[in-house]
Homo-oligomer: A and B are copies of this chain.
């Protein structure tokens, strides 16, 4: 067993993590896998009628065939891929939920080609379930305006560069050579275009469908621990309140939102007493301004959890001496330092065998 020299921020956390790994961090000598597979969950049948029939050649050089767009469709399902270990060291499967305009690829790889957190947490001994929420990736998407009421949004590179805090306002440029990332930023900015290939369109009118499918997932595979990012924060928090017996721990990476505690019956928080929650935030939180609003919303929720008896930790990474992380911190150069600390937190929280 060896541990990378760069992983020296928290020696205690590091050793806890290394000791529990089957090999070096992110570099398993051999991962003993029992099963790989996937499934769709949630959603249901919707029928359309009254749309015009067309003749279409579905592949170049082939004869046109009659396409009738009217009929039955499965819509609003989500996609889940799993890798189960022969001998998991974690007590519960780890569900990895991505953010808005993205898919489960968030966890599979890093834009500079290093292994993603999926492999990290597999190596640390977790059965891992990586999903694509309703409307994106392998979950597919439903026709609009007939089924989804709005059109989708396509995130530009500039919007992502700024919103994900790769660089400050107006530091993006179409020409890679002329982009100015934060000088101490940890995102591999030279590989930003590779990251942009992961972007998928998003709808703003599908929250209920997304949450409903996540609920079916929770009912199917939990008790579990949820590792979530950004948009998934509100869904995970809502489902923890609704199914507290199924949520054994939660790690929220820059959750974009959470339910307003004033709208939640206090007894619901008490049902999460003893459950470990970890909230993780990166650097540069004051530009753009909406991130501090996210922080404030999520802090109120976190405080209500703690008041109800949950075991809450709130990690402001710069305050812990870890600087330069943006919103996609699971892809940053120091991302495995953070993963190792999360793994150590899980061990301390009793989530490992």
Chain A residues in the interface with B (C-beta under 8 A):
28-40, 43, 45, 47, 56-63, 65, 67-74, 77, 79, 81, 83, 86, 100, 103-105, 108-109, 113, 115-116, 118-119, 122, 132, 137-138, 140-141, 143, 153-154, 156-159, 174, 193-194, 196-202, 204, 207, 231, 234, 256-257, 260, 290, 293, 297
**Nearest Cβ in chain B — how far from A213, in angstroms?**
10
Across the interface, do A43 and B197 meet the contact criterion of CB distance under 8 Å?
yes
* CB-contact partner of A69 in B59, B60, B108, B154, under 8 A: B154
Which of chain B's residues has its CB closest to A42's CB?
A: B197
How many Å lie between the Cα of A219 and that of B291 in the bound state?
41
**Nearest Cβ in chain B — how far from A59, in angstroms?**
5
Across the interface, do B69 and A157 meet the contact criterion of CB distance under 8 Å?
no
How many Å lie between the Cα of A79 and that of B108 in the bound state?
11
Across the interface, do A113 and B39 meet the contact criterion of CB distance under 8 Å?
yes
How many Å lie between the Cα of A28 and that of B116 in the bound state?
24
- For this complex, 12 residue pairs linking A to B, each with C-beta atoms less than 8 Å apart, are A33-B33, A39-B109, A39-B194, A47-B174, A60-B207, A60-B234, A62-B257, A67-B153, A73-B196, A103-B138, A104-B138, A140-B199
Across the interface, do A58 and B122 meet the contact criterion of CB distance under 8 Å?
no
**5 nearest CB pairs, A to B:** A71-B156, A40-B197, A77-B197, A74-B196, A38-B108
Residues of B close to A33: CB separation below 8 A: 28, 30-33
Across the interface, do B260 and A109 meet the contact criterion of CB distance under 8 Å?
no
Across the interface, do A256 and B199 meet the contact criterion of CB distance under 8 Å?
no
Knowing that A32-B33, A38-B105 are A-B contacts, what are 18 other residue pairs whose CB atoms are under 8 Å apart, sorted by A's residue number? Answer: A28-B34, A30-B34, A36-B119, A37-B116, A40-B197, A57-B204, A58-B153, A60-B234, A61-B257, A61-B260, A69-B153, A71-B157, A73-B156, A74-B196, A138-B200, A140-B197, A140-B198, A140-B200
Which of chain B's residues has its CB closest to A103's CB?
A: B138
Residues of B close to A35: CB separation below 8 A: 28, 115, 119
Across the interface, do B194 and A59 meet the contact criterion of CB distance under 8 Å?
no
Residues of B close to A67: CB separation below 8 A: 153, 159
How many Å lie between the Cα of A213 and that of B62 in the bound state?
21
**Nearest Cβ in chain B — how far from A238, in angstroms?**
11
**Nearest Cβ in chain B — how far from A50, in angstroms?**
14
**Nearest Cβ in chain B — how far from A150, in angstroms?**
9
Residues of B close to A196: CB separation below 8 A: 73-74
Given the known inter-chain contacts A36-B118, A73-B196, please indicate yes or no for A138 contacting B105, CB distance below 8 A.
yes
Across the interface, do A83 and B115 meet the contact criterion of CB distance under 8 Å?
no
Given the known inter-chain contacts A58-B100, A72-B157, A154-B143, please indicate yes or no for A30 contacting B86, CB distance below 8 A.
yes
Given the known inter-chain contacts A33-B28, A256-B62, A257-B59, please indicate yes or no for A201 contacting B153, CB distance below 8 A.
no
* CB-contact partner of A72 in B37, B108, B122, B158, under 8 A: B158
**Nearest Cβ in chain B — how far from A201, in angstroms?**
7
Across the interface, do A201 and B141 meet the contact criterion of CB distance under 8 Å?
yes
Residues of B close to A204: CB separation below 8 A: 56-59
How many Å lie between the Cα of A69 and that of B159 in the bound state?
9
**Nearest Cβ in chain B — how far from A280, in angstroms?**
19
Residues of B close to A28: CB separation below 8 A: 33-35
Across the interface, do B119 and A105 meet the contact criterion of CB distance under 8 Å?
no
* CB-contact partner of A138 in B57, B138, B154, B293, under 8 A: B138
Residues of B close to A45: CB separation below 8 A: 157, 174, 193
